[in-house]
């Protein structure tokens, strides 16, 4: 029997990167996957890729920074598949760079809206849908949910917030069979960084990881799979780095 046989999962930001890798792996392991992304083409491409391998998937366009979109996402999932067992709140952006004393106000608001409020909105509607039989929620934070870095005040603040929010929600629903955890990817080769940084900067990031390279989306997806499955049945309220040793320094 496959690890996620007969499970239904929502994965936000699954049109590319970590979310896409998780969606593909979840489907491979038997889940019916609701692919969610603001980018319609990428989202549809992911869903079609799953179906081309005989997996089950639908795409729902959704902006994680909007509460109504999160509500609709859950409602459409229940309407299509009848239940919700796993949710991966992965959608996020890097945002502009700049020192805190000069950081653009609109940039701050956008990063907080997507990276932090978007996770709250997800939890707000996913949790009630899981109450009848329990479930597992994985919030994708970052190594910067535990450490600081210069010139990314909004991103760092949002990701720290995701870790704290995860712990609070986990405590509230631990006795209701809903497990809620967060993960902290290091620098992963996704469009979030490869499209934004030049080759020299990418090479400099490699040196921050004792393992000697950047991570792959598929490696992060394996951790998400474990947290979403019954194999992690005694795990809730935790934060798991997947960072090639970054936070051990």
Q: What is the pLDDT of residue 135?
A: 98
Environment class of residue 54 by beta-carbon count within 10 Å: exposed (0-12), middle (13-18) or buried (19+)? exposed
What integer pLDDT is reported at residue 113 of this predicted model?
A: 98
Report yes or no: 215 and 188 within 8 Å, Cβ to Cβ.
yes
pLDDT at 22: 98
Low-confidence ranges of the chain (pLDDT < 50): none
CATH of 8-241, one of 1.10.600.10, 3.30.200.20, 3.40.50.720, 3.30.1120.80: 3.40.50.720
Question: pTM of whole model > 0.95?
Answer: yes
Domain range annotation of the chain: 8-241
Q: Which alpha helices (DSSP H) does the chain contain, by range?
A: 17-28, 40-52, 67-81, 105-112, 118-130, 153-173, 191-194, 199-206, 217-228
Q: Which of 41, 23, 44, 40 lies closest to 32 in space, CA to CA?
A: 23
Token pair 């309220």: residue: 237
Q: What is the pLDDT of residues 46-86, one digit of tens each?
A: 999 999 999 999 999 999 999 999 999 999 999 999 999 99
pLDDT value, residue 197: 80
Distance CA 142, CA 163 (A): 9
Q: How far apart are CA 245 and CA 249, in angstroms?
A: 7
- pLDDT reported for residue 57: 98
Please give the positions annotated as active site.
155
Distance CA 60, CA 40 (A): 8
């Amino acid at each position: 029997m496959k690890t996620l046989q007969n499970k239904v999962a929502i994965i936000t930001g699954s049109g590319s990167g970590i979310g896409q890798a998780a969606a593909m792996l979840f489907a491979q392991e038997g889940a019916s996957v609701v692919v969610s992304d603001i980018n319609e083409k990428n989202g549809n491409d992911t869903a079609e890729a799953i179906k081309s391998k005989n997996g089950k998937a639908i795409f729902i366009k959704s902006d994680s920074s909007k509460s109504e979109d999160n509500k609709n996402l859950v409602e459409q999932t229940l309407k299509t598949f009848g239940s919700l067992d796993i949710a991966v709140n992965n959608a996020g952006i890097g945002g502009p760079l700049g020192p805190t004393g000069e950081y653009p106000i609109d940039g701050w608001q956008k990063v907080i809206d997507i990276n932090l409020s978007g996770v709250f909105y997800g939890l707000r509607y996913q949790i009630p849908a899981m109450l009848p039989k329990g479930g597992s929620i994985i919030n994708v934070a970052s190594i910067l949910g535990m450490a600081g870095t210069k010139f990314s005040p909004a991103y760092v603040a949002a990701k720290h917030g995701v870790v704290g929010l995860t712990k609070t929600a986990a405590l509230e629903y631990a006795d209701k069979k809903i497990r809620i955890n967060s993960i902290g990817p290091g620098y992963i080769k996704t469009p979030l960084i490869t499209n934004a940084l030049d080759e020299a900067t990418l090479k400099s990031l490699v040196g921050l990881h004792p393992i000697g390279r950047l991570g792959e989306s598929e490696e992060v997806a394996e951790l998400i799979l474990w947290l979403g499955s019954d194999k992690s049945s005694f795990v809730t309220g935790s934060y798991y780095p997947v960072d090639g040793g970054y936070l051990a320094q």
